[in-house]
Amino acid sequence: MSLELLMLGNVPIPQMIERAKLAEANGYQALWVADERFYREVYSLLAVLAQHTRTVKLGTCVTDPFARHPALTAMAIATLDEISNQRAMLGIGAGISGFAELGIVRKKPAVAIREAIQVIRQLLKGEAVDFHGDVVNFTNGKLSFTPVRADIPVYVASNGPLGQRMTGGVADGAIMEGCGSVEEVRAFRAVLAEGARKKGRDPGAVKVVARLNACIGSDGKSARDALRPGVARLLAAGRLKFMTAEACGLTLPAEATAPLANVPYAAGAAPYAPLLPLVTDRHVDAFTLAGTADEVADHMFALKGAGVDSFLIMPFAAAGRTAEDTLVEMGATVFPRVLKGG
């Protein structure tokens, strides 16, 4: 069981460095940086953070096989692993940010991720690779240096059953965004296990990571209100597929979300403001970690019992507080309680 921090390159680098130091000082085991266009570049940031930390692992959450060729990803993650004294992790997913601007079309995302992982792992072993798949192609190439580690852990982020089954078959860990309900965690684990068994793997070998926005406030309302716009966007945009949301009554009415069908990804949460009256506290609790410290600890303990191995959080500020307040309280107060039993 671990607590991990997700950062976006949307704030000045000195502020990111201070957040990284705070996380390490307050018990976080890993730092992940989003490969989000068009903020600060992910590998540059991770290299800087490696120089200002000592023990935390460092990863991409997540890069993709479309905007950057898998061979370049292998080169970058191996370089980060060398810089950080073997603390690198690779998080990969189908991606979406910047695709419209870059003219990128996602083709067979689950296949593309699986092929990318195969090429990356072969390159990290120092092998010459000649690979021609359905999506990924690499012709008679190899890295021109020897990676310090061939077995850099690979995590896959997926919120769809096809991608999740593939993840269970090939990855060291599986990341699911918005996986904040016991029902969804159990369904996620079941699909991963199906994919693992199909490939002859032990389902327990795949670490389950719940990627959740988090906010701790002195009262539950202020914390939930801070995350409500993001939940409105998550539910209305429909980019993430949840196996249990409809059965649990956690979707929004189609007539309310239809006018927002073509909102571009880069627009953020603001266009979804008209939906806020429909997003109840129950919605917020199903897709995030929000509330008082006691409420969040109880929530995390329930998710741990359902099968979460790691909490990957992005901290938000409740009214009158800062995101750093959430970061510190989560690490110093809440997570130790989760480890001890709620």
pTM of this structure: 0.96
Ramachandran category for residue 312: left, alpha or beta (phi over 0 → left; psi -120 to 50 → alpha): beta
Q: Residue 53: what pLDDT?
A: 98
Tokens of residue 212, six digits? 């959740």
- What is the SS3 assignment for 251-311? CCCHHHHHHHCCCCHHHCCHHHHHHHHHCCHHHHHHHCEEECHHHHHHHHHHHHHHCCCEE
Over pLDDT 70: what percentage of the chain?
100
> Which ranges constitute the DSSP H helices of the chain?
13-25, 42-51, 70-83, 99-102, 109-124, 161-170, 182-198, 220-237, 254-257, 281-287, 293-306, 323-329, 335-340
Which pLDDT belongs to residue 342? Answer: 60
| Dihedral angle sign, alpha carbons of residues 274, 280, 282, 284 | positive
Residue 291's DSSP bridge partners are 216
pLDDT of res. 341? 83
Structure confidence by residue, pLDDT tens digits, 204-233: 999 999 999 999 999 999 999 999 999 999
* pLDDT tier for residue 141 given thresholds of 50, 70 and 90: very high
Query: Distance (Å, rounded) from C-alpha 313 to C-alpha 288?
Result: 9
> Cβ(228)–Cβ(252) under 8 Å?
no
Report the mean per-residue pLDDT for the chain.
97
Render pLDDT for 9-30 as a digit per residue (tens, 0 to 9). Answer: 999 999 999 999 999 999 999 9
Q: What is the mean pLDDT of residues 161-177?
A: 96
265 vs 40: CA distance, rounded Å: 17
With 0-12 / 13-18 / 19 or more C-beta atoms within 10 angstroms meaning exposed / middle / buried, residue 189 is buried
Residues, the chain, total?
A: 342
Per the structure block, which two tokens stand in for 318? 């409740």
pLDDT of residue 159: 86
Q: Is 98 left (phi over 0), alpha (psi -120 to 50) or beta?
A: left
pLDDT tens per residue across span 260-285: 999 999 899 999 999 999 999 999 99
pLDDT class of 67 with cuts at 50, 70, 90: very high
**Domains of the chain as residue ranges with CATH:** 2-220+290-340 (3.20.20.30)
Residue 298 has pLDDT above 70, yes or no: yes
